[in-house]
Structure 1
Amino acid sequence: METRVRYLARSPIFEIEKAFSTDYPVDHVEGARRTNHEADDRQVTVAAVEDPSHWKLDVHGFCFLHAETHLDPNDVYTKKKEVQDAYWYEIEAILHKHFPQYSRIESFDLTVRKRDPEFPAIVRGYRDEYEQPSSTAHSDYSQTGVFLTLQHCFPGQDDYWENKEFDMLNVWRPLKPTDDWPLALCDYTTIDTDEDIRLNDAIRRDLIGEGLLLHYNDAHKWYYFKDQGVNDLIVFRNSDSHGKRARGFHAAVLNPQAKGPLRESVEVRLVAFY
């Protein structure tokens, strides 16, 4: 699939400023900016995964699992709080089965995305019920961002994860089968970790986090799960307790040949302790 990936430009501004972005308007503040990012859209080939078993979480930053889950694609919009605990339990059980090295797995977020027909030409504001696809190549957390997120989601429990080994994982799948704006993942072995990765302050309404953005490198190799069904799970690591393990940099990408309905997807964010 020939498409484009949105990278972060290697801007001179980062010599004097840290990269940052917000998810809310700041027009009412004189001189304020929502971001200091400059996009660097690059033509890339995103290859279809031919052998899902080839991909390893600890090598490539992502892997693929086939497992049955039960989540009503309508209830997740209208009854999110009521259905998320049961879905979390299913995902945690699947991960325990496939990754026995984890002693404890705790879900802390369920994000639903539903593409607006005008996306990406017009990105609507933040919605409580669902979000838009994320088209910038990124990983959700830096090593510092890991602890900021845990402190926010599990307040007062710092002593529990102190000096413990853990991974921050996402489990992503479509809510309904479609080839519209699939999730693309960058093989971690093709990333120059010294030159291609940029720390980014993610300023949210209720949290200041820190994530990672990706600069373009023609060595990068991108992949997607063609014809992904609702029981085909993409598992990727965003970061870990020491920031040393393979990460799954990812982005939603336009499929020029898409014929399916507008993309709807669901992802769970988890912390997995060794």
Structure 2
Amino acid sequence: MADTVETTFYYSQLPFDNSKPWFDVNFNLKTGERDSNFTMESRTLEVENVRGHEDEYDMDSAGFRFIKSPSDFTDFDDDAAIKGAYYKESNEIIKKVTGARRVVMFDHTIRRNRPGILETSEQTRAPVSRVHVDQTPESATRRVHMHTPENVALDLLKHRFQIINLWRPITHVALDYPLALCDYRSIDWDRDLFATAIKFENRVGETFSVKYSPQHKWKYLRGMGTDEIVLIKCFDSRMDGKTAILTPHSAFVDPTTPKDAPLRESIELRALVFYDDLPDEIPEIA
């Protein structure tokens, strides 16, 4: 029998006026909420703990993969150290797991659950309790242009590329607000997803918001330790009808979490992943 828990997921609904959906990445200090032009709906669903059979899920079928991957890196308060040693270590993990020729790390986010503190900057990012996908085809293409030399970007886009996130708990086991992932085989690309503008302080990006479907199958790895990671596929240019393209995901409240569990702290790296022979000008780390 599957080990499941019942919890609440927060899905998105299209704006009533059919305008382009958008939201602000930071909270409005006056309202205590994020400004947006669309609404959310809550759904009570089951999420399965795959601990013990996590090897049944891989990135090309489900869209994600759990991996045992101890790390000696602990200096997660030092941004320069993260971009140096931790990016390099993670780069090699992704190469080894995927067989990629080149990996370009382009950013990271540290999330800490701090009840009562609003997200107003990169330093106060909290777990995201909204079903979403980090990238759309348009924003993924834009990332290639942003993080590789312009004289080779167009050539790169003729070949297979992916955007993969590497997510890891830091400091302690992630019992509080764990990460749930939706099996790609349970989503309908045409009906479940809609592109949404995300407003940063200095630019506008684009993500996929996700509409509720009773077909969605949610998975998580209960009690992920600092020696465990999950690779999350956020985009794959191989659209052959068989390969997973992306992974909806969300933080959630696990009813089995002990009341005295430490608050969640995690790091998520984002990387462009290339497979074919590539020009030497493409950097390993952006």
TM-score of the superposed pair, with normalisation by structure 2 = 0.84
Matched residue type, 2:106: F
2:73 alignment partner, SS class: coil
Q: How does 1:159-174 map to 2 (within 5 A)?
A: 159=154, 161-174=156-169
Q: Superposition pairs for residues 171-250 of structure 1, below 5 Å?
A: 171-175=166-170, 176-241=172-237, 245-246=243-244, 247-250=246-249
- 1:156 Cα deviation from its structure 2 partner: 3.9
Q: Secondary structure at the match of 1:12?
A: coil
Distance in 2 (CA, whole Å) between partners of 1:53 and 1:70 is 24
Partner of 1:36: 37
CA RMSD of aligned residues (A): 2.2
Q: Which amino acid aligns with 1:105?
A: V
SS of the aligned residue for 2:11 comes to strand
- 1:95-134 to 2 correspondences below 5 Å: 95-100=94-99, 102-118=100-116, 124-134=118-128
Q: Number of residue pairs matched?
A: 260
The answer to whether the 8 Å contact 1:67/1:233 transfers is yes
Shift of 1:178: 3.0
Change (3 A) 1:27 1:181: closer
Give the corresponding residue for 2:144. Answer: 150
Contact 1:117 1:262 in 2 (8 A): no
Secondary structure of the 1:63 match is strand
Instruction: Name the structure 2 match of 1:258.
Output: 257
Q: Which residue number corresponds to residue 76 of structure 1?
A: 76
Equivalent-residue separation in structure 2 for 1:131 and 1:83 (angstroms):
17
| Alignment check: 8 A CA contact 1:149 1:209 kept | no
TM-superposed CA distance for 1:60, in Å, is 0.7
Give structure 1 stretches of 5+ with no counterpart: none
Alpha-carbon distance, 1:98 to partner? 1.7
**Alpha-carbon offset, residue 180 of structure 1:** 0.3
Alpha-carbon distance between aligned partners in 2 of 1:24 and 1:5, rounded to the nearest angstrom: 21
CA deviation map 1:168-196 (0-9, x unaligned):
00010111213100000001111111111
Local SS of the residue matching 2:120: coil
The 1:127/1:237 distance shift into structure 2, 3 A limit, reads: same
Greater alpha carbon shift after TM alignment, 197-206 vs 149-158: 149-158
Match of 2:283 in 1: none
Q: Which runs of no fewer than 5 residues in structure 2 stay unpaired?
A: 276-286
Are residue 18 (structure 1) and residue 20 (structure 2) matched?
yes
Query: Residues 27 and 234 of structure 1: is their aligned pair in 2 closer, same or farther, counting only changes over 3 Å?
Result: closer
What letter is aligned with 2:39?
E
